[in-house]
Amino acid sequence: MTDLAATDALPKPPRDLLPVFLPAILAVAMLPLVGSGSSWVTLTVASLAMGMMIFIMASGLTLVFGLMDVLNFGHGAFIAVGAYVATLVLLPLAGWVQADSLWLNLAVLAPAALAAMAVSGALGLVVERVLILPVYGQHLKQILMTTGGLIVAEQALYALWGPQIIPLPLPTSLRGSFIIGDIAIAKYRLLAMLVGLVVFAGIQLVLARTKIGLLIRAGVENREMVEALGYHIKRLFLGVFMVGSGLAGLGGIMWALYREQVHASMGNDLTVLVFIVVIIGGLGSIGGCFIGALLVAMVANYGGFLVPKLALVSNILLMVAILMWRPRGLYAVTSR
């Protein structure tokens, strides 16, 4: 890559940092309302962990939305499939899961996560080729096809695994909390935060430092021009779709371990949540998706603690407030 130094630069527009600080502002604003410092820390850590998991599930969807203008209402199927595939690894190796050894626990968690990502990614390949390819550019048909796909996937999971909820206990080393004074921080939540940050940093690195990343960013802006430069954007999209599906699968196993259970309707339940995050963040914006996921999780946790009756509608209220402030989301990337 040619590396020419800039002799000058255009005056940069003021950086739009307000959305970046929103989660911190919200957290600080909640402190006097929550009252107890230890409860506030617990709620904040829970929010960050939950937000990271939602981000992992939603990141692929925002790129799919932004890059190819595809409304994939079946995204939740990848989440549920990821969780079920993880049970295929975790339940037969329950002895390793319950062993009091961090390394044995990780030795079973890592292949479970990889299997969840691989199967969800492969399912993404099938869904893109079979359900989405014939309906590019037709939003109504996309909604019908992908919603139908979600229903079929859910019923297939019921048929294969039965209607019962499958318990999925946390590995022994990840149970319990770190106690600092009168503050308890759940170990698994710390792991979820770490994984979420790694995924976020990885995606940002790919988008900023690789040619594939440049193509994705360019494709979000102007698909037609990317094609006119000689790149097959549909192949790129297929790759993004598969990676996004794989990430949803990873989010699925993380969410299942967080809830310590797996059930076929979990994908359906989470679909609305990830859509809210993608809309709040701005279609196609990974940074916006990250902030949106944190905000959704914070509102759910603080709201659930302070005004339990509002918990069911808190995310919708948040979305309405954000869209009234910024009608195209926190960080608008596309003109859509």
Q: Which is nearer to another protein, 57 or 220 (CB)?
A: 220
> Near another protein by CB under 8 A, which window of 15-23, 71-79, 151-159, 225-233?
225-233
> Taking CB under 8 A as the rule, does residue 227 contact another protein?
yes
CA 190 to chain centre: 17
CB of 224 vs another protein, minimal distance in Å: 6
> Taking CB under 8 A as the rule, does residue 224 contact another protein?
yes
> Taking CB under 8 A as the rule, does residue 286 contact another protein?
no
Please provide residue 186's backbone torsions phi and psi, each rounded to the nearest 5 degrees: -65, 135
Closest residue by Cα to residue 199 from 27, 60, 46: 60
Q: Which is nearer to another protein, 138 or 164 (CB)?
A: 138
- Token pair in block for residue 268: 């359906």
Query: Which of 129, 139, 232, 336 touches another protein (CB under 8 A)?
Result: 232
Would you give the end-to-end CA distance of the chain in angstroms?
A: 33
> Taking CB under 8 A as the rule, does residue 9 contact another protein?
yes
CB of 234 vs another protein, minimal distance in Å: 9
Q: Name the amino acid, one letter, at 273.
A: L
CB of 290 vs another protein, minimal distance in Å: 17
- Token pair in block for residue 299: 């509102």
Note whether 34 and 40 are within 8 A (CB): yes
Note whether 72 and 132 are within 8 A (CB): yes
Note whether 62 and 290 are within 8 A (CB): no
State which of positions 173-212 bind another protein (CB under 8 A).
211
CB of 5 vs another protein, minimal distance in Å: 8
> Taking CB under 8 A as the rule, does residue 17 contact another protein?
no
> Taking CB under 8 A as the rule, does residue 321 contact another protein?
no
> What letter does residue 222 receive in the DSSP assignment?
-
> Taking CB under 8 A as the rule, does residue 4 contact another protein?
yes
DSSP string, 131-189: IIGGGTT-HHHHHHHHHHHHHHHHHHHHHHH-SSPEE-PPPGGGSSEEEETTEEEEHHH
- Token pair in block for residue 136: 């590019």
Q: Which is nearer to another protein, 98 or 221 (CB)?
A: 221
CA 60 to chain centre: 7
Q: How many residues bind another protein (CB under 8 A)?
A: 31
Query: Which of 46, 81, 109, 215 touches another protein (CB under 8 A)?
Result: 215
> Taking CB under 8 A as the rule, does residue 15 contact another protein?
no
> Taking CB under 8 A as the rule, does residue 14 contact another protein?
no
> Taking CB under 8 A as the rule, does residue 6 contact another protein?
yes
Residues at the contact surface with another protein, assessed by CB under 8 A: 1-2, 4-13, 211, 214-215, 217-218, 220-222, 224-233, 333
